[in-house]
Structures are given as C-alpha cells and as structure tokens.
Amino acid sequence: MPDNYLHIKLSEQRLRLWKGGRMVREYPVSTALRGAGEKLGSEQTPRGWHRIRARIGAGCAPGTVFVGRRPTGECYSAALARRHPQRDWILTRILWLCGNEPGSNRFGAVDSMRRYIYIHGCPDSEPMGQPRSHGCVRMRNADVMELFDLVEAGFPVLIEE
C-alpha cells in the first residue's frame, strides 16, 4: 500500500484518508445502490485502484449545484429539489476518478473516467452509510469540502468491497 491514499470500503460505506501510513480522516459515504461493478451503464461503483483525475469546485459555496462538471449558478435548496425531482444532485465539490487498471477500470466498457465516477457532495438530507448512489461516492457537503482541501490531483484511491 502507498503511504498516502483514499480507501473506500463498500461493505462499510466508509472512506478513509491515509497520509504518512496512518489514517488521518474517516467519513461515512453512500455508494451505488446496485453494488459493485465496472461496466458502462451499470450504475455500480467500480472497484480497484484509481486516482483523482481532476478537482472541481475550488472556492464554490457549499451547496453549489454542478451539471456536466460546471456550476449552474444554483445553490441546492428544498425548493429547488421540488422543482427538479429527477436530478441526481452533484453538489459543492467533485473529485473525478480515473481508473489505474487497464481492462478492469480503465479503457473500453469499464473506464471509470468515461463513466463519470466522482466523489462528490449531495443533499444533506440523503442518508450516509447506505448504498443509494448511481455509481459515484456521495459525501456530506462539509466532509467533501474538507477532503477536497486534503488531496490533490493524482492522489491514489482504492475502492474495494
């Protein structure tokens, strides 16, 4: 194992930040409702080694709404949610993941980056510790803001069951 990495354990619905060979932060998360899997269109969370490809949202307000990795100018609220009940809310910050394992989570029909797999904020009303996402790793907004400031592009990420 590297000294510095994110470890996402699907069975526990937890994300742990390791730095200098020791765990320095731990957060509850929500991964895919449909479990683990790598196929394009599966709505499952991909396993294996990844890296943070891009950090998106630096300086944005908590609750900033993103569509296509761009801030919409909206800030999440219950009223906005009622107007757009079908949206899969991507809020506050995005850590876009890229697979490191060709044929497993990189390239072709299993490419995590092409699947737009992120670690991102979501409405604080969404439960953590339960699989509920469409494949991404959801976090509380305050937690994803803290994590965002502790990692950089290229940071290793291990997702395992």
Quick one: pLDDT at residue 87? 93
- CATH code at 128? 2.40.440
Spell out the SS3 assignment of 94-111.
EEEEEECCECCCECHHHC
- Band of the pLDDT at 3, cuts 50, 70, 90? very high
User: pLDDT by residue (tens digit) across 101-122?
Assistant: 999 999 999 999 999 999 999 9
Is residue 108, in this structure, part of any structural domain at all? yes
Is residue 21, in this structure, part of any structural domain at all? no
Quick one: pLDDT at residue 161? 95
Instruction: Give me the number of domains the chain comprises.
Output: 1
| DSSP per residue, 11-47 | TTTEEEEEETTEEEEEEE-B-BTT-B--STTS--BPP
Is residue 47, in this structure, part of any structural domain at all? yes
**Rounded distance, CA 157 to CA 161, Å?**
13
Is residue 131, in this structure, part of any structural domain at all? yes
Quick one: pLDDT at residue 1? 86
Is residue 136, in this structure, part of any structural domain at all? yes
Is residue 141, in this structure, part of any structural domain at all? yes
> Residue type at 105?
N
Is residue 65, in this structure, part of any structural domain at all? yes
Is residue 123, in this structure, part of any structural domain at all? yes
What is the average per-residue pLDDT within 131-143?
98
User: pLDDT by residue (tens digit) across 38-91?
Assistant: 999 999 999 999 999 999 999 999 999 999 999 999 999 999 999 999 999 999
Quick one: pLDDT at residue 9? 98
With 90 as the cut, is the pLDDT of residue 22 above it? yes
For 47, the token pair is 């396993």
